[in-house]
Structure 1
């Protein structure tokens, strides 16, 4: 089994769960070997170089892809998917869903995602539009940025997904300090940020996803 790891803070609880689980050391090591940013993980998944991964929700919207009800979800705000005010429109090369979301919302400017975006927001929140917050303001629905998608070993990943959803994850202090040092984000801000993220995809999240897929398709047709 090879898992594609998005190396962002928003999936830190899931990766801690994998480390603490009874999975083989080979699988745990594969997560570190195949870690990257979302758009690259999308390509790895599409070429079947990884068996499972959280791939961008827009990429997961293909009939051939098997998904599980687990993802990266913002109930309201997220503070790590941003558009910079007063700038010319440009995509974040590491993104897929977030670039599409900016177009759906018709918000112009430079798109930033991930830990880099979180750091920018913490430094000057007034300079940025939080895309998840804007989505929720308009539609009163959560936004699903990525879904756990499977190429092989579906039953094993389903078990992982089910167990993770029902488990409360505590982040060890040494890991928290390591991420804080690497990303230059204070530990308390990392913990505060993670409270904005949820992972279970239920009925409301599915409604948000379906609305996004519909509006994204319309935005492409109207270009």
Structure 2
């Protein structure tokens, strides 16, 4: 079984959990090997080059998905639009580019750990797309869902167990991620407080609204 890995800090708790959950050394090495960014993983999933992955919300509509995802509590800090920059999409993203368009935000889209570093440096004028969505609709924005191509029972079980778990990130992993990202362990933990993973009634309502806004945008063009 192949699980693709988005190599961003927002999924650090999930991969800490998976490494404990999956005992096979071979499977663990596969997870680490299949690292990429969201838009590339979306393609791999579409063409069934991977069995399971966190799929961008915009690409997950017709997929077999669990009730686990990447959700902003309100602001997310890692999906920004730099408003003083010329309009430019982030090639690593699918959902965030569309979200900026739906919200009518002009500028350069930045996602992931590079956006988080911009947030903490606070040297650029930016808008947090999840925060704007939350302020406008009173709903947490769902950026991705954990979906699968096969092995339904196995991945549904993984998702359910993860959703019910409280994950503590080991200090050695925090230090390693801090070194990789040039952030501090404290900043990483602060950021992870902004992320939740269980998709409940309100999160499903938010997804439906997002899909409707996409359809309205297409219709208006």
Aligned with residue 198 of structure 2, among 183, 197, 200:
200
1:218 to partner: Cα distance? 1.2
Question: Structure 1-normalised TM-score?
Answer: 0.97
Distance in 2 (CA, whole Å) between partners of 1:23 and 1:100 is 38
Whole-angstrom CA distance in 2 between matches of 1:178 and 1:29: 18
Check 1:34–1:174 CA distance in 2 against 1; reply closer, same or farther (3 A cut). same
Matches within 5 A, 1:114-153: 114-124=112-122, 127-153=125-151
Matches within 5 A, 1:169-184: 169-184=167-182
How far apart are residue 61 of structure 1 and its match?
Answer: 1.0
* Distance of 1:87 and 1:29 partners within structure 2: 40
Q: Give the superposed CA RMSD.
A: 1.0
Q: What do residues 6-55 of structure 1 show as CA deviations (whole Å, max 9, x unaligned)?
A: 00000000000011114422221111111110000001101100000001
Structure 2 CA distance for partners of 1:125 and 1:193, relative to 1, 3 Å: farther
Q: 3-state DSSP class of the match of 1:3?
A: coil
**TM-score normalized by the length of structure 2:** 0.98
Q: Report deviation, 1:147.
A: 0.3
Taking the aligned partners of 1:200 and 1:126, their CA distance within structure 2 comes to: 32
Structure 1 unmatched runs, 5+? none
2:2 counterpart residue number: 2
Q: Which runs of 4+ in 1 moved over 3 A?
A: none
- Structure 2 CA distance for aligned equivalents of residues 116 and 216 of structure 1: 26
Q: Does 1:24 align with 2:29?
A: no
Tell me how far 1:186 sits from its aligned partner.
Answer: 1.0
Retained in 1: the 8 A contact 2:76–2:194? yes
**In 1: Cα distance, 2:88 partner to 2:48 partner:** 29
Q: 1: distance between equivalents of 2:80 and 2:210? A: 17
Question: Is 1:189 aligned with 2:187?
Answer: yes
Once residues 23 and 221 of structure 1 are traced to their aligned partners in structure 2, the CA distance between those partners, rounded to angstroms, is 49
**1:96 paired residue number:** 94
